């Protein structure tokens, strides 16, 4: 990968997104850190990236709103000149029985996990097309392929399954543009959101670093022939 590439990682002030943003500093010349509420944690990620000798800046945006997303991508492009690598990590989560959900719950989860990625892709893809190079990596979840019944996370499962379809649709549509579009789907992550009331073997738990390593590969030149793929990183969880 040429060193001038610029990455934008949504939801990168903490957790998996934070790890991805810091690790991408090893590939890209600059990393845009996105946050919604906690500027302090976002600035800590920026400092970590700058310590690696790479450019970084924190940007606030509400990704459930298209105009806010357009403003985010515009601001990143204004500061860094481009967005070459887009990682859609932002994705809120609600765990409650499906029949207690409200319409607002559904809208929040669908907008946060599906529409937000659509908005980001729509805003960033024109620049990638112009340069005939781009990497889009969407963060999913490891059961999206199975179309199973998940009574306590129904909107989340629906949204991430939709994100997989969107990923493969965009991959096919952008194949002639030098742009790859893939998904990385974590299972259970140490320090992350775990189902309540369960005990889990260490072999079933991954780490944020595991997810970041998969993203780094898909963002690299070595993955230029990989597109429309859902890379599941989940150890033995639900094997």
- pLDDT band at residue 82, thresholds of 50, 70 and 90? very high
pLDDT tens readout for residues 121-170: 999 999 999 999 999 999 998 887 877 787 888 999 999 999 999 999 99
Mean pLDDT, residues 212-237 taken together: 92
Mean pLDDT, residues 82-96 taken together: 94
Rounded CA-CA distance 30/231 in Å is 25
- Domains of the chain in sequence order: 6-233 (3.40.50.720)
SS3 189: strand
Q: What is the pLDDT of residue 2?
A: 47
156 catalytic, yes or no?
yes
Mean pLDDT, residues 57-70 taken together: 98
Mean pLDDT, residues 113-122 taken together: 98
Per 3-state DSSP, the chain is made up of helix, strand and coil in percentages (nearest 5) of 45, 20, 35
- Which of 35, 74, 141, 156 is catalytic? The answer is 156
- Which runs of consecutive H residues, i.e. helices, occur in the chain? 15-24, 39-50, 66-80, 103-110, 116-131, 154-173, 208-219
Q: What is the pLDDT of residue 1?
A: 44
Q: What residues contact 43, with CB distance under 8 A and at least 6 apart?
A: 58
């Amino acid at each position: 990968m040429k060193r001038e590439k610029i990455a934008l990682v949504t939801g990168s002030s903490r957790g998996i997104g934070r790890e991805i943003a810091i690790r991408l500093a090893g590939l890209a010349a600059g990393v845009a850190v996105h946050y919604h509420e906690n500027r302090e944690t976002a600035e800590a990620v920026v400092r970590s990236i700058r310590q690696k000798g790479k450019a970084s800046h924190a940007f606030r945006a509400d990704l459930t709103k298209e105009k806010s997303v357009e403003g985010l991508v515009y601001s990143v492009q204004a500061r860094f000149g481009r967005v070459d690598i887009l990682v859609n990590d932002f994705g809120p989560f609600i765990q409650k029985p499906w029949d207690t959900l409200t319409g607002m719950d559904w809208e929040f989860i669908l907008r946060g996990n599906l529409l937000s990625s659509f908005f980001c892709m729509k805003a960033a893809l024109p620049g990638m097309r112009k340069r005939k190079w781009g990497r889009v990596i969407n963060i999913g979840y490891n059961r999206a392929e199975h179309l199973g019944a998940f009574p306590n996370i129904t909107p989340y499962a629906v949204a991430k399954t939709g994100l997989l379809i969107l990923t493969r649709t965009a991959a096919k549509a952008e194949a002639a543009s030098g742009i790859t579009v893939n998904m990385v789907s974590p299972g259970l992550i140490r320090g992350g959101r775990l189902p309540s009331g369960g005990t889990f073997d260490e072999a079933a738990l991954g780490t944020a670093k595991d997810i970041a390593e998969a993203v780094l590969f898909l963002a690299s030149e070595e993955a230029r022939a990989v597109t429309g793929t859902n890379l599941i990183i989940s150890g033995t969880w639900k094997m």
